[in-house]
Chain A
């Protein structure tokens, strides 16, 4: 078996989900190759070479991979797909965008968002917002799989694989990349954070998120949100945790003013320890919380921040 893992990176470093995807690849077995495609991303290829268990790194560096457009990434992967039994990528906004395009081009039914590997053709994946777990077996010649990072450990950095250049594929010219607007923050990324403080509609305003930021700063935590908080314009969309936002599983998740709709739970219920602060004693979030406090958040959050001083 030979597994191709498509790396998510920022040109310099690998993004969190990539090393977890390598662990999923190792569970499948066989040789692992990482593909780093991008523009000016040699440093990311060097980082990929250090991931434990990787046999080889392929570097495809060309201007038309800036932004990792689905059409061009697919065209590139198709030039080498025949050499692999499995093609994996993290089930993040990055992987979800182009993996189905690769799969359909190969006439393969992709397996999305796996949380466990049973064997080289059988995987477990959550369906219905994580309310059910399906074990599925693929009959396709090449398995195209996206990997839920929270289901697998970080592979670690103990390797020294060779980096080979891979000739760029065609520029399909189908889409023009006009840039990204990334939210800037000094806090850890949601999907990599050890602690997350998340706010919901109960926060009342974007201004009030400062209370959570103060708490997050004390804990070295990332700040997340429910969809209601995002839709109300309190915080940017990339804060959203849930079925259709980010899937997280930190050591500690603190849910503040969040009711606990199934779509929100879908994104955080695998966290190790969950705390909920809500003034409603009936809030469904309490059903998944390890510790819950029925109190007004405007009283409880500053007190908690204070207590951690």
Chain B
């Protein structure tokens, strides 16, 4: 079966994000970029399913600037077969992402779509659920286990109180949670091999999708700062502070 995986290019999760002084957004110039960690988990899942003989082809899709080609190459170095970049310099919000991904799904006809549960830049946690809504397919968001058998998949989802188990009919969309797997590191030979894999570049207009943002960002600010704390010498002092100063116990 064919699997489609989405990969977003985001600021590296371990970089300290700085808000621009004009309040228009966060600083992205000369900042280290990386594949969204949840998308890495999605690619890893698809590659493992291919290694297990369940999946025959993995198509990776990214939406964004030209440099997203690097993100697609990384996914191909991990084991994806080919990439599609929907190239645009505009801000694409989750509903528009979902419409673009749906348009590609209509052409590619995958049996399973694996997306990250959330992009760690906008922290929206929407696009996967939206894609399945637009297609009228079942969804399994925040999955920590997937087993495909024939035309159904058994999935375990992370919920607030523990785990939930579902059986969904395919085709379906699943979104990944952290504990689904641990993504592999890419090796140099695989990076070289990935350079030769096909990468198609499209424009949003070619897919007939209007990507104009529905949410207007009025301003972006620093979060309120906490005032500096104090170091206590020992447990006795800590308890005294809690009782007499903070009065929380």
Q: Which residues of A contact B (CB under 8 A)?
A: 67, 69-71, 74, 92-94, 96-105, 107-113, 122, 126-140, 174-183, 191, 195, 219, 227, 230-231, 236-238, 243-244, 246, 251-252, 262-263, 269, 272-275, 286, 288-295, 300, 303-304, 307-308
Contact = CB atoms under 8 A, between A and B. Distances in A.
Interface of B: 11, 13, 16-17, 19, 26, 93-96, 98, 117-118, 120-134, 137-142, 144, 154, 158-169, 177-179, 213-223, 226, 229-232, 234-236, 238-239, 241-242, 246, 248-249
21 contacts: A67-B164, A70-B139, A93-B142, A109-B95, A110-B126, A112-B125, A132-B26, A132-B223, A135-B218, A174-B168, A179-B164, A219-B249, A231-B179, A286-B229, A286-B231, A290-B226, A291-B231, A291-B238, A295-B234, A295-B235, A304-B239
A21 to B, nearest CB: 15
Contacts of B142: 93, 96-97
B82 to A, nearest CB: 27
Contacts of B219: 134-135
What are the nearest 8 A-B pairs in CB distance? A109-B214, A104-B130, A174-B138, A100-B129, A100-B126, A104-B133, A178-B165, A93-B160
Given A237-B144, A303-B235, A138 B248 contact: no
Contacts of B239: 304, 307-308
A206 B6 CA distance: 35
Contact of B246 (A129, A262, A291): A291
A304 B121 contact: no
Contacts of B95: 103-104, 107-110
B93 A109 contact: yes
Given A183-B162, A290-B246, A307-B235, A100 B214 contact: no
Nearest to B121: A128
B214 A175 contact: no
A98 B126 CA distance: 9
Nearest to A106: B133
A308 to B, nearest CB: 7
Contact of A93 (B138, B158, B241): B158
Contact of A175 (B134, B138, B246): B138
Contact of B161 (A105, A182, A219): A182
Contacts of B118: 244
Given A236-B162, A262-B16, A291-B229, A122 B218 contact: yes
A101 B248 contact: no
B158 A237 contact: yes
A183 B159 CA distance: 11
A237 B162 CA distance: 7
B161 A133 contact: no
B13 A174 contact: no
